[in-house]
Amino acid sequence: MKKYSENKHHTLSELNITPLLDLAFVLLVIFIITTAPPVNDINISLPTAAGRPKEAPSKANYITVDRSGNIFLNTVPMNLDQLLKTLVDFRKVDPDLNVVVRGDSRINYQKIIDVLDVLVSAKIEKVGLATETYGQQ
């Protein structure tokens, strides 16, 4: 007479892979859904609609502070008050105004801070600081 059941030991030797297959299929479905299908498989010419024409990207304006501390806006010499007034006028014409600040490496750092304060006062949000790649001096 047996003291244990055959079925009990038989189920212990089997591995249930159903949850693993469910996970694999879920991941497969997620990858299929998130992968964008190619759209350019047929070469067609799309019609145009009457609307706003594409605007040219706005040109960046350069503020340069030279070695002696002189300030230039696009090669025009200015003081800080003139710079503020001109930048406010530029921003009224182009709300998406881009400005790049270029300063000589040997000037007093306060001059650059003064220029940045003018940019904040003129409410210009797109500001870049120009640098050179190390070793190209």
CA–CA gap between residue 115 and residue 80 (Å, rounded): 7
H or E stretch covering 119: helix 109-121
Q: Is residue 97 within 8 Å of residue 58, measured between CB atoms?
A: yes
The residue to which tokens 């998406």 are assigned: 96
CA–CA gap between residue 68 and residue 127 (Å, rounded): 23
- Greater confidence (7 vs 27) lies with 27
Q: Which residues contact 122 (CB under 8 A, 6 or more apart)?
A: 84, 87, 88, 91
What mean pLDDT do residues 56-66 have?
A: 78
State pLDDT tens for residues 8-54. 555 556 778 888 899 999 999 998 888 866 655 556 555 666 665 55
- Greater confidence (106 vs 4) lies with 106
Nearest to 100 by CA among 121, 119, 77, 78: 119
What mean pLDDT do residues 106-123 have?
A: 87
What pLDDT does residue 24 have? 93
**Single pTM value for the model:** 0.54
Domains identified in the chain and CATH numbers: 60-129 (3.30.420.270)
